[in-house]
Amino acid sequence: MSEFFDKLKEYAAYTEEGLDSIMPKRDNYQKVIYDAMRYSLLGGGKRIRPVLSLVTAELFGLDREMVKPFALAIELIHTSSLIHDDLPAMDNDDYRRGRLSCHKRFDEATAILAGDALLTYAFEVAGDGASSIITKAVVSGNEELARNASKVVGLLAARVGAEGMIGGQIIDLKAEDTAIDEYEHDTLCRLKTGCLMTVPAEISGLLAGKKETPEYVLLLDYSKSVGLAFQIRDDILDVEGDPNLLGKKTGMDDADNKTTFVTLYGIDGARHKLEELTSKAIADCRALMELDGCRKESAQFLIDLAGFLLERKY
Ligand code: GRG
């Protein structure tokens, strides 16, 4: 397991360095927006989504440099969503990642704009990354790669929009005070949390030309299970987690009267679902490992990652 933690740290450090280098400090008239963007982006976070981008790319034999812009873009999008999620109009959280949330450290207007600026910057970074792949692919005559790379930005946008994370968030807001059934709740979680957890595998599969292959289908199933499991763990931690480790207050779902895995299935039922999904994710990954065209070390990392997320305390 220590090999897993070393690798996890290495992927996270690579992400950290990448984020720091693309997120400039500016001393111009609009300095405050850069300060707020850097404050939220570089203020901690597990970097799970970029880790998924890097490891799924390596699983399919891609160079991690190729997916780096998309890994960073996904973390920029994730951070923008956390800033907006913390606003009084949404979840109204004063703390995030162990410190004041963006609107508390700055003010509401600045936080709205910092979220907007991170989101738009994400698409600038992803667009530049795709252009660079397309240019090289055209020069080397790799038409398939050029075609696939041209689809990445559209795919990413679809996973963020009304049929993706934002769609999940609007159902989540409705689920405060209005009880929703387990089917609507399942859709909520697959969109709100699942989309950003599966898009790394979708992008890696697309760039590796693996779409529709058995290994891609298994990886996507793994990512869907892990995405849902991630939200269940989040709901459980909101009930029984340690705020000091989580870096934010607990009990927020209850205060907002939200439908969660815990309110639907009870704490034991939620834990059982979490274990079932994790076992399924691991079984899919073991099957994936048996197939040609996959890097075994990366598949093993994904198996260990599912186990780590099952028990995470933060
Ligand atoms: C501005 C693009 C944009 C969207 C607005 C607010 C909103 C729509 C969506 C919120 C989506 C949301 C907060 C989903 C929760 C997902 C989740 C479990 C977040 C916690 O992720 P971790 O644990 O956090 O990976 P760290 O801090 O480790 O990065």
Q: Which residue has the tokens 């039922």?
A: 269
What amino acid occupies position 163? E
Decide: 194 in ligand 1 pocket, CB within 6 A. no
pLDDT at 274: 98
**pLDDT by residue (tens digit) across 156-212?**
999 999 999 999 999 999 988 788 999 999 999 999 999 999 999 999 999 999 998
Decide: 260 in ligand 1 pocket, CB within 6 A. no
| CB proximity list for 178: less than 8 A, separation 6 or greater | none
**pLDDT by residue (tens digit) across 33-63?**
999 999 999 989 999 999 999 999 999 999 9
- pTM for the model: 0.97
Token digits of residue 71: 């890994």
Instruction: State the distance from the centre of ligand 1 to the C-alpha of 91, rounded, in angstroms.
Output: 11
pLDDT at 87: 98
**pLDDT by residue (tens digit) across 57-96?**
999 999 999 999 999 999 999 999 999 999 999 999 999 9
What is the span of the domain harbouring residue 130? 2-311
Would you state the torsion angle of the CA atoms of residues 15, 118, 194, 146, taken in this order, to the nearest 10 degrees?
Answer: -70
pLDDT at 24: 86
Burial class (CB in 10 A: 0-12, 13-18, 19+), 175: buried
**pLDDT by residue (tens digit) across 287-314?**
999 999 899 999 999 999 999 999 999 9
d(CA 190, CA 203): 17
Atom of ligand 1 nearest to the CA of 166: 8
For the segment 269-277, the average pLDDT, to the nearest whole number, is 98
Please provide the size of the chain in residues.
Answer: 314
pLDDT at 293: 86
Decide: 309 in ligand 1 pocket, CB within 6 A. no
What DSSP assignment string belongs to 233-274?
HHHHHHHH--HHHHTS-S-HHHHTTB--HHHHHHHHHHHHHH
Atom of ligand 1 nearest to the CA of 119: 2
Q: Residue 263, CB half-sphere, CA atoms under 13 Å: how many?
A: 20
Decide: 205 in ligand 1 pocket, CB within 6 A. no
The CA distances from residue 290 to 201, 283, 296, 314, in Å, are: 18, 11, 8, 32
Decide: 85 in ligand 1 pocket, CB within 6 A. yes
Distance in angstroms between the alpha carbons of the first and the last residue of the chain: 18
CB 191 within 8 A of CB 171: yes
Q: Which residue has the tokens 């186990």?
A: 307
Among 31, 9, 26, which residue's Cα sits nearest to residue 305?
Answer: 9
Our count of domains for the chain comes to: 1
CATH of the domain at 93: 1.10.600.10
Question: Which of 16-20, 161-165, 257-261, 302-306 is predicted least confidently?
Answer: 257-261
Decide: 164 in ligand 1 pocket, CB within 6 A. no
Task: Please list, residue by residue across 93-113, b when 16 or more beta carbons sit within 10 angstroms of its beta carbon and e when fewer do.
Answer: beebbebbbbbebbeeebbbb
| CB proximity list for 220: less than 8 A, separation 6 or greater | 198, 201, 202, 205
Among 162, 217, 218, 173, which residue's Cα sits nearest to residue 195?
Answer: 162
Protein residue with its CA nearest to atom 17 in ligand 1: 193
In the predicted structure, residue 1 carries a pLDDT above the cut 80: no
d(CA 290, CA 1): 21
